[in-house]
Amino acid sequence: MERVIGLVNKLQQICTSLGDNALSPQSILWNKLPTIVVVGGQSSGKSSVLEAVVGRDFLPRGTGIVTRRPLVLQLVKTDDPNNPDYGEFSHAPGRKIHNFEDIRKEIEEETERHLHKMGGTKVVSPDPIYLTVYSHNVPNLTLVDMPGLTKVPIDGQPPSIVQELDDMARQYVKSDNAIILAVTPANADLATSDALRMARDVDPSGDRTIGVLTKVDIMDRGTDCRDVLLGKTLKLKHGWVAVVNRGQADINSRVSMKDARAREREFFQGKPEYQDLQNTNTTFLADKLSNHLINEIMKSLPSIQSYIEGTIAKLTKELQALGGDVSHSRGAMLHMTLQLCQKLERAFERIVDGGKDGGEKILDVFEIKLKETINKLPFQRILTLKNVQMVVNEADGYQPHIIAPENGYRRLIEDGLSLLRDPAFNAVELVHQILKQIVTLAVNVPECRDLQRFFNLKSEIINHAANTLERLRKEADAMVRTLVDMEASYLSASFFREIVAAESYAYDPSRPRPAFYTLNGDNLFEKRYDHLPVADAHLQKISDHVSAYLAIVKGQLLATVPKAIVHCMVVPAKGGLLTDLQEEVAGKEEPQLRRLINESEEVAEQRESIKKRLTLLQRASMEIAAFM
Ligand code: GDP
Ligand code: MG
């Protein structure tokens, strides 16, 4: 029994450490521990019974409705027997009241204040008063003293009071972990007992009900409650206990608790009708109560345990989300930094390679955006006869019969190529932007969640990644520029030799004629110019040749620009986004590293608090497991 009381004690301590106690209205674990609720008619002796069980005078007692708000009384057994007992109210936290007479006064005054606040029209209120009593001489129990039940309004109370009181009591006894002390005065008819009516209602099996007979000393002369105590009158699963508390005269003359108990003992021992019965006396009641409580606790252990385990699982997850401890040794910090860099690189690679945020977006730039912008380029402006004539005249002077005005061709092609440069550079920029976005995505993937703790490292990583990408962008730009320039210098010679040759010699079936198409898609060798005046035909031919050339270069660039971008930017980014940073970090000393992975205080505190709660809960879980 001591062990179980000890267990409850520990569980309650754990509750308190977790900030969960009877005083916190949203207490969860605490609510799973059994409470003892005293119900019964007005002036049936509820408060007296409760006090007797606790062994201290501190509750308001008397005739009429004395208890007018539920009192949730949490008894806390203290370790040191030499410490004076005291009480503390939840409405006045921190104020230790050592004089129990003052506690009673405070209960009365707080009741008054509260009822006054409610408008002064109510006689009772369901809002409980929370009182914790700390003493070495109390069991760890939570007890609830209730205002009495009544069948008819008395003392000028409004008719609604009957229902109000009933609802209020019901609220407290209906919960499965409430042990009901059904108090009935022995000097009244059992059949009229409000306590039994309520208990039967909420606990039909009687598993949680203990019957208490009070006022045995003032029964009508010639009557006794022996038959009730023997279970002959009304059988209760857990039986009845008879007690004798102090009458009003004793209270007025301040008979002590100790004397009252002695007199109670004398009373039952001196009466032949009770002498041989065990179930008399407050001591018996207290023992019965703790036994019952122990049973209840044993019954509720599995549900407490599963609650604790659920909470442990929840907290463990939270802890994992916060990341592990930070060791401040150079090696550990270095290892962690490098590991985080690698994790980020891997996440970056993964996003680049797969899916709509990476690979697909880049492909989109190549296959849709680049093509569209190139197709929309205003090549036709260059290819008008007027422009061709002007450029050729300027470059070569007016020589209408020259077959291939070389400088004019070069100028026209140069103009066309310069149009192509912009979309190519634009593609580089677009892919660069996408890669930068992927860095942001990678920083936020679950594997890299540790980065959220280390703000400095995170910004270092983002900066270094941005630098790497910027460097690669420049390389890709240079490569694209070279590609365009190469087209300008290479094709001209062979191309023009080819067309000029094809055109100037007669059709020779043994020699396959290459097909050249203009930007409009016309086959160069099927075009006819005989309908045009000679001078125009000449210029149109030049325009068509340039057009066919640009068409080839366009096709070429559409194929090579993506390759250049992938080769210069995407592949190296995947292969070494943070190489610079990793090299730099490897040479850092402990203080610099510490600056890098200095997690925010808030996170550190949060982790500590969760860890503490976890330890407590794990201990509770082990304690409980030992009992099951
Ligand atoms: P409550 O309203 O149910 O809380 O009842 P109280 O504990 O306030 O008691 C009502 C009155 O009955 C008080 O005057 C008590 O002194 C008196 N009383 C309670 N129990 C006994 C008892 O066992 N014997 C005698 N003689 N009077 C009692
Ligand atoms: Mg009372």
Residue 23 has pLDDT above 60, yes or no: no
284 with 392, same domain: the answer is no
82 with 191, same domain: the answer is yes
Residue at 388 is within a domain: yes
Q: What is the mean pLDDT of residues 477-504?
A: 75
Residue 47 CA to ligand 1 centre (angstroms): 7
How far is residue 187's CA from residue 217's CA, in Å, rounded to a whole number? 9
45 C-beta closer than 6 A to ligand 1: yes
Residue 134 CA to ligand 2 centre (angstroms): 21
pLDDT band at 269; cut points 50, 70, 90: very high
42 C-beta closer than 6 A to ligand 1: yes
The pLDDT value given to residue 19: 63
215 C-beta closer than 6 A to ligand 1: yes
Task: Look up tokens 């230790």; give the residue.
Answer: 96
pLDDT band at 187; cut points 50, 70, 90: very high
Which CATH number covers residue 119?
A: 3.40.50.300
335 with 289, same domain: the answer is no
How far is residue 167's CA from residue 147's CA, in Å, rounded to a whole number? 11
Higher pLDDT, 97 or 534: 97
The pLDDT value given to residue 45: 93
Higher pLDDT, 506 or 153: 153
Residue at 321 is within a domain: no
The pLDDT value given to residue 621: 86
Atom of ligand 1 lying closest to residue 49 CA: 7
Sheet hosting strand 178-185, strand order edge to edge:
86-89, 129-135, 71-77, 142-145, 35-40, 178-185, 209-214, 240-242
Q: What is the mean pLDDT of residues 337-343?
A: 91
396 with 528, same domain: the answer is yes
Residue 216 has pLDDT above 90, yes or no: yes
Residue 421 has pLDDT above 80, yes or no: yes
Residue 273 CA to ligand 2 centre (angstroms): 29
Residue 69 CA to ligand 2 centre (angstroms): 9
Residue 290 has pLDDT above 80, yes or no: no
Residue 166 CA to ligand 1 centre (angstroms): 20
411 C-beta closer than 6 A to ligand 1: no
Residue 199 CA to ligand 1 centre (angstroms): 20
The pLDDT value given to residue 302: 84
CA dihedral 149, 152, 153, 158 (to 10 degrees): 100
363 with 463, same domain: the answer is yes
247 C-beta closer than 6 A to ligand 1: yes
Atom of ligand 1 lying closest to residue 40 CA: 3
The pLDDT value given to residue 123: 78
Report the share of the chain in percent with pLDDT over 70: 88
Residue 273 CA to ligand 1 centre (angstroms): 23
44 C-beta closer than 6 A to ligand 1: yes
The pLDDT value given to residue 5: 61
What tokens were used for 10? 């520990």
Residue 308 CA to ligand 1 centre (angstroms): 41
Atom of ligand 1 lying closest to residue 247 CA: 27
Ligand nearest to the CA of 63: 1
Classify each residue of 73-103 as buried b or exposed e, where b means 16 or more C-beta atoms within 10 Å of its C-beta: bbbbbbeeeeeebbbbbbeeeeeebeebeeb
43 C-beta closer than 6 A to ligand 1: yes
The pLDDT value given to residue 404: 62
The pLDDT value given to residue 510: 66
Residue 144 has pLDDT above 70, yes or no: yes
The pLDDT value given to residue 1: 43
Global pTM?
0.57
274 with 125, same domain: the answer is yes
Q: What is the mean pLDDT of residues 289-307?
A: 81
Q: Indicate the range of 18-27, 251-260, 279-288, 381-390 predicted with least confidence.
A: 18-27
Q: Indicate the range of 93-107, 210-224, 373-387, 486-500 predicted with least confidence.
A: 486-500
Residue 550 CA to ligand 2 centre (angstroms): 103
The 3-state secondary structure of 292-336 reads: HHHHHHHHHHHHHHHHHHHHHHHHHHHHHHHCCCCCCCHHHHHHH
Q: What is the mean pLDDT of residues 117-143?
A: 81
364 with 250, same domain: the answer is no
246 C-beta closer than 6 A to ligand 1: yes
Q: Please give the residue range of the domain that contains residue 553.
A: 327-598
Report the share of the chain in percent with pLDDT over 90: 33
331 C-beta closer than 6 A to ligand 1: no
Residue 468 has pLDDT above 90, yes or no: yes
How high does pLDDT run on average in the chain? Answer: 84
Is there a contact between 247 and 217 (Cβ–Cβ < 8 Å)? yes
pLDDT band at 384; cut points 50, 70, 90: very high
Q: What is the mean pLDDT of residues 606-626?
A: 84
Q: Indicate the range of 184-198, 500-514, 562-576 predicted with least confidence.
A: 500-514
The pLDDT value given to residue 373: 92
Residue at 225 is within a domain: no
Residue 543, C-beta contacts closer than 8 angstroms, at least 6 positions apart: 383, 384, 385, 388
Residue at 626 is within a domain: no
Ligand nearest to the CA of 215: 1
Atom of ligand 1 lying closest to residue 60 CA: 8
Higher pLDDT, 334 or 627: 334
Residue 13 has pLDDT above 70, yes or no: no
Atom of ligand 1 lying closest to residue 50 CA: 7
Higher pLDDT, 285 or 613: 285
477 with 336, same domain: the answer is yes
Q: What is the best residue among 51, 61, 213, 220 to mutate for testing ligand 1's pocket, by most ligand atoms within 8 Å of CB?
A: 61
Residue at 313 is within a domain: no
Residue at 308 is within a domain: no
User: Ranked by mean pLDDT, which of 158-162, 581-585, 598-602 comes out on top?
Assistant: 581-585
Residue at 370 is within a domain: yes
Higher pLDDT, 356 or 46: 46
280 C-beta closer than 6 A to ligand 1: no
How far is residue 456's CA from residue 462's CA, in Å, rounded to a whole number? 10
Atom of ligand 1 lying closest to residue 51 CA: 7
pLDDT band at 564; cut points 50, 70, 90: very high
Residue 62 CA to ligand 1 centre (angstroms): 6
Residue 24 has pLDDT above 60, yes or no: no
What tokens were used for 412? 């026209």
Ligand nearest to the CA of 183: 1
388 with 269, same domain: the answer is no
Which CATH number covers residue 352?
A: 1.20.120.1240
Q: How many domains does the chain have?
A: 2
281 with 344, same domain: the answer is no
The pLDDT value given to residue 181: 94
**What three-state secondary structure class fits 90?**
coil
Ligand nearest to the CA of 62: 1
Atom of ligand 1 lying closest to residue 250 CA: 16
The pLDDT value given to residue 38: 92
pLDDT band at 503; cut points 50, 70, 90: low
pLDDT digits (tens, 9 = 90+) for 31-67: 667 788 999 988 899 999 988 887 877 777 777 667 8
217 C-beta closer than 6 A to ligand 1: yes
Residue nearest to atom 17 of ligand 1 (CA): 247
41 C-beta closer than 6 A to ligand 1: no
Residue 585 has pLDDT above 80, yes or no: yes
336 with 272, same domain: the answer is no
Q: What is the mean pLDDT of residues 584-607?
A: 81
Ligand nearest to the CA of 44: 1
Residue 21 has pLDDT above 50, yes or no: yes
379 with 254, same domain: the answer is no
How far is residue 222's CA from residue 66's CA, in Å, rounded to a whole number? 31
Residue at 310 is within a domain: no
